[in-house]
């Protein structure tokens, strides 16, 4: 299971319907936060993600992306958390993020470690990794990629039987890439019974950025691209001045990268009640697009499953033009 819950979809300041930036990313029982705007802990309660966060990744140090850290840590501490937590900051942010931890005054019931994650570096979590890439904003900033390792190809049970392999542990050893020897002295290699490797899933989060070639490169063939769309195209000059993208520009990035699906977030308050303006603009360029609301939730399947990324039944509906 790879699930994303949008905890906040507004830029700069919250509105009645939208909190500021935060994503909850759940993969096979592990929970991560990408950004943590003010009030994130309440959004986590509201949308049922739970608080068992292992690591928080901050894309940059603008207040609407980090101001929720202090409150979230205090909430976790009041709940008696004991498990350590890691916060990854962009380059140069270690001391600042450390201040967020101590801002509440009281000692926490758990340890928080702050580390920096420069562009190009990745954190390995077994069969997947989370990597930072450089983005183009008004201060040092990164985007984030969650990419899984390739999976073994499909195991051909009928072929294995025809080759005389008895059902049981030998099937598993072959599927794991080991050549086996049978009782009659013959050998069976994985390439005889295992198909071509199958690609893992890839989720890309732009953070705040102008449309940028680096995003296109890292997002190539991604299952889902979550890209900021702070403004409509008529505000392009404002977008350039503030280091943001328009909905059309986000869609153009999606086309160039060849992604399967685009989700727009980080909306200016001027579009809070009319997100369809952004959706209409983006879908003229890239059809497989939605504008996220707070609480919008998506599950990302494997490409070879034949399924498309699916909205959860309890998710907020995508905006309509």
* DSSP helix/strand/coil, 40: helix
244 CB-near residues (< 8 Å, 6+ apart)? 11, 137, 208, 209, 210, 228, 230, 231, 238, 266
Q: Please give the Cα distance from 232 to 13 (Å, whole number).
A: 17
Q: Are strands 202-205 and 224-228 parallel, antiparallel or unpaired?
A: parallel
Catalytic residue among 35, 64, 208, 294: 64
Handedness of CA 314, 315, 318, 320 (dihedral sign): positive
- Report the DSSP beta bridge partners of residue 87: 56, 114
CB 34 within 8 A of CB 60: no
CA within 13 Å, CB half, 309: 24
Catalytic residue flag (residue 140): no
Burial class (CB in 10 A: 0-12, 13-18, 19+), 276: middle
Phi, psi of 6 (to 5 degrees): -85, 110
Catalytic residues: 64
């Amino acid at each position: 299971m790879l699930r994303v819950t949008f905890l906040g979809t507004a830029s700069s300041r919250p509105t009645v319907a939208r909190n500021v930036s935060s994503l909850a990313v759940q993969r096979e029982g592990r929970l991560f936060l990408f950004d943590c705007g003010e009030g994130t802990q309440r959004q986590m309660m509201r949308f049922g993600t739970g608080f068992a966060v292992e690591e928080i990744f901050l894309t940059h140090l603008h207040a609407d992306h980090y101001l929720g850290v202090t409150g979230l840590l205090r909430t976790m501490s009041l709940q008696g958390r004991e498990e350590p937590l890691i916060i990854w900051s962009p380059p140069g942010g270690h001391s600042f993020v450390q201040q967020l931890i101590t801002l509440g005054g009281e000692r926490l019931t758990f340890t928080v470690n702050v580390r920096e994650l420069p562009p190009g570096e990745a954190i390995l979590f077994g069969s997947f990794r989370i990597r930072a890439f450089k983005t183009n904003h008004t201060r040092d900033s990164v985007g984030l990629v969650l990419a899984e390792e390739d999976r073994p190809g499909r195991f051909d049970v009928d072929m294995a039987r025809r080759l005389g392999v008895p059902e049981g542990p030998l099937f598993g050893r072959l599927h794991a890439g080991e050549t086996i020897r049978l009782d009659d002295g013959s050998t069976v290699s994985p390439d005889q019974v295992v198909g071509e490797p199958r690609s893992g899933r890839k989720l890309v989060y732009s953070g705040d950025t102008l449309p940028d070639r680096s995003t296109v490169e890292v997002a190539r063939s991604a299952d889902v691209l979550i890209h900021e769309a702070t403004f409509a195209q008529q505000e392009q000059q404002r977008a350039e001045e503030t280091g943001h993208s328009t909905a059309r520009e986000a869609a153009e990035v999606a086309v160039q990268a060849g992604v399967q699906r685009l989700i727009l977030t980080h909306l200016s308050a001027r579009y809070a009640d009319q997100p369809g303006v952004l959706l209409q603009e983006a879908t003229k360029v890239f059809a497989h697009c939605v504008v996220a609301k707070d609480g919008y939730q998506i599950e990302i399947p494997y490409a070879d499953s034949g399924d498309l990324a699916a909205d959860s039944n309890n998710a907020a509906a995508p905006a309509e033009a």
